[in-house]
Amino acid sequence: MVTMPTSLPDSRTEPDGSAVVRVLSYNVRSLRDDTEALARVIRACAPDLVCVQEAPRFFRWRKAAARLAAMTDLVILGGGATAAGPMLFCSLRATVERTEDILLPLTPGQHRRGLATAVVRVAGTRFGVVSCHLSLRSDERHAQAGMVLDRIDAMGVPHAIVAGDLNDVPEGKAFRRLAGRLQDCRAVRPWGDDLTFPPDAPRKRIDAVFATEGIEVLGCGVPAGLPGVTAADLRAATDHLPVLAALRVPAGR
């Protein structure tokens, strides 16, 4: 039986050099909704890393992303138009080793997809991070899930975190492909609420945070009820609910 934690641990560095990090996954719908509400939600979650989907991709997209980063006291790692929408933000707690934006193969008639990736260090830890937004088509989505796993293998890191809008439910093939190799953090240690879409009356869990084995999941879920996160802001911010995870990453280079 899984015990649901009553609160989510804060970011911290452990005496052994391991680090508790907060990771937020959020589809922001190109900042077309209430950006002030969105910023309030992100700030209240106090994330070390934010995996964004549907970041601005067109006219003055860098300026729009920089404004959100400034509003939330975060730094842009990479992504955006150069990754076809996924983007990574981080707090000053993270030191960036390298970043890479990946464009996935284009299926004619479909939206281009990509991955925003980075290798970061926090305290005595080193790990990879991937933000993804998978296809609406089942066959393409399943193939893209495999490409996410291949990218983790190619990053050369001891641990990795994947977060994003999967456009798939836990019973779906793409979701199950990721969960077959990675920990589905919500399933391992549920905290907060479960369903992520749509925000006003959520019916599906299509947004998720995953972690490789060896990372300890301390809690994961929609941060409804977290101090500073209001139901009104969650509804106004964008068309998805965010997923927040607290993870303990082992020390190691």
Residue 9, judged by CB atoms within 10 A of its CB (0-12, 13-18, 19+), counts as middle
User: pLDDT tens for residues 92-114?
Assistant: 999 999 999 999 999 888 889 99
Secondary structure class of 148 (helix, strand, coil): helix
For β-strands 243-249 and 19-27, DSSP reports them as antiparallel
User: pLDDT tens for residues 24-50?
Assistant: 999 999 999 999 999 999 999 999 999
| In-domain check, residue 54 | yes
Q: Copy the structure tokens of residue 200.
A: 């006003």
Task: Evaluate if residue 1 carries a pLDDT over 70.
Answer: no
| Confidence at 7, pLDDT banded by 50, 70, 90 | confident
Task: Evaluate if residue 4 carries a pLDDT over 70.
Answer: no
Reported pTM: 0.96
Residue 41: which residues within 8 A CB-CB, separation 6 or more? 26, 223, 229, 233, 234, 237, 242
User: pLDDT tens for residues 55-69?
Assistant: 999 989 999 999 999
For the chain, how many structural domains are there in total? 1
| In-domain check, residue 63 | yes
Among residues 198, 193, 234, the alpha carbon closest in space to that of 8 is found at 193
Q: 41 and 199 in contact (C-beta within 8 Å)?
A: no
Tell me the chain's radius of gyration from C-alpha atoms: 16
Residue 2, pLDDT score: 52
CATH code assigned at 26: 3.60.10.10
d(CA 113, CA 117): 13
Residue 182, pLDDT score: 98
Q: What integer best gives the mean pLDDT of the chain?
A: 96
| In-domain check, residue 61 | yes
| In-domain check, residue 4 | no
User: pLDDT tens for residues 113-141?
Assistant: 999 999 999 998 999 999 999 999 999 99
| In-domain check, residue 242 | yes
| In-domain check, residue 66 | yes
Which residue's structure tokens are 């006219």? 59
Residue 109, pLDDT score: 84
> What is the span of the domain harbouring residue 242?
13-249
Q: 94 and 126 in contact (C-beta within 8 Å)?
A: no
| Confidence at 169, pLDDT banded by 50, 70, 90 | very high
Which residue's structure tokens are 């989505």? 141
